[in-house]
Amino acid sequence: MAEGFAYVNGTYSPVDTAQISVLDPGFTRSDAVYDVTSVWKGRFFRLDDHVARFFESCRGTQITCPLTAVEIRRILATCVIRGGLTEASYVAIVATRGGYLDEAAARARDIFRTKPSMIAYALPYVWIADEVAQARGLHVIVARTPRIPDACVSTRYKNYHWGDLTRGKFEAREAGADAAVHLSIEGFLTEGAGFNLFFVRDGRLYTPARNVLIGVTRAATIDLAAELGIPVEIGDYTAGELRAADEAFLTSTAGGILPIATVDRRPLREDGLPGPMSMALRQRYWRRREEGWLGTRVEDAI
């Protein structure tokens, strides 16, 4: 039995028994948006920011969320508590286009006659990379598959259109790498499967501006950099600039700040190890999380 607890349209259950209709466009058309926060040491991290971004994703894809922010907070907290996951958990909220209102709508696959499905679940905390990979630094490739353009599916709205990201994961596995970073169709760095990208050059941090999710951990990293007096630039950068960086790292709800050691099999540093700025930011991130930085106690969200 899978560990975790879920909510689907008003009903709570163990995560492996939660279900929606196989005809839901969230399943048949990837017509769904979601957001993921985390709990660490009994506290959600930037919960209100995640909930606000979720509502923005719903508005951007014209899915009408029937829940209020207070209700979403309560549902997420209930999943965490009932799953016994207050120490460390990965917590998601999902809205799909939903079930068809009647048989005629189902036969016609009429997405304008549906009722959104609301799903939430809490799982044990998820890491993009394990402790060994984090200590040695991740091995990353630049994917051949470009990121879906914002003109087609906006990355601003966190969605289930992962065809390009899934191809990147296969490319990374084929190359013996941990993760893949995608370029835009214009040839600029974007992001990867569940993470944003940063690189360091001459004491400055750089992160892609376009065709990326406006990540909550990305924003937290920019805040931490400001605390440390590290300048940050947001713009358009090439794969060559990443390969020539002094150091680099990924940011994600699933792992925080994750240092990179190599890009396309080439070490960024002579010693082949994660860089000092990446490690300093990583350590500061987790120390601040331990201290309750920007946290909401799980019990207070009920």
pLDDT tens string 245-292: 999 999 999 999 999 999 999 999 999 999 999 999 999 999 999 999
Domain range 131-290, CATH architecture: Alpha-Beta Barrel (3.20)
Pairing of β 204-208 and β 232-235: parallel
Lookup: tokens for 97: 């286009």
- For residue 65, give the amino acid letter: C
Q: According to the model, what pLDDT value does residue 1 have?
A: 55
**Cα dist from 234 to 205, 207, 208, 230, 289, whole Å:** 9, 5, 6, 13, 25
- From first CA to last CA, the distance across the chain in angstroms is 26
Distance CA 249, CA 230 (A): 15
Q: What span, in angstroms and rounded, lies between the C-alpha atoms of 229 and 77? A: 35
Under CATH, to which class is 5-124 assigned? alpha beta
CB-based contact 221:251 (threshold 8 Å): yes
Domain 5-124 identical in fold to domain 131-290: no
Q: Are 90 and 254 in contact (CB under 8 A)?
A: yes
Neighbours of 200 (CB within 10 A): 20
216-227 and 276-290 helices, crossing angle to 10°: 100
Per domain, the residue ranges of the chain are 5-124, 131-290
pTM comes to 0.94
- Spans in the chain with pLDDT lower than 70: 1
Instruction: Give φ, ψ of 255 to 5 degrees.
Output: 135, -10
- Which amino acid is it at 20? I
Q: Are 44 and 38 in contact (CB under 8 A)?
A: yes
Question: What is the token pair recorded at 105?
Answer: 């709508």
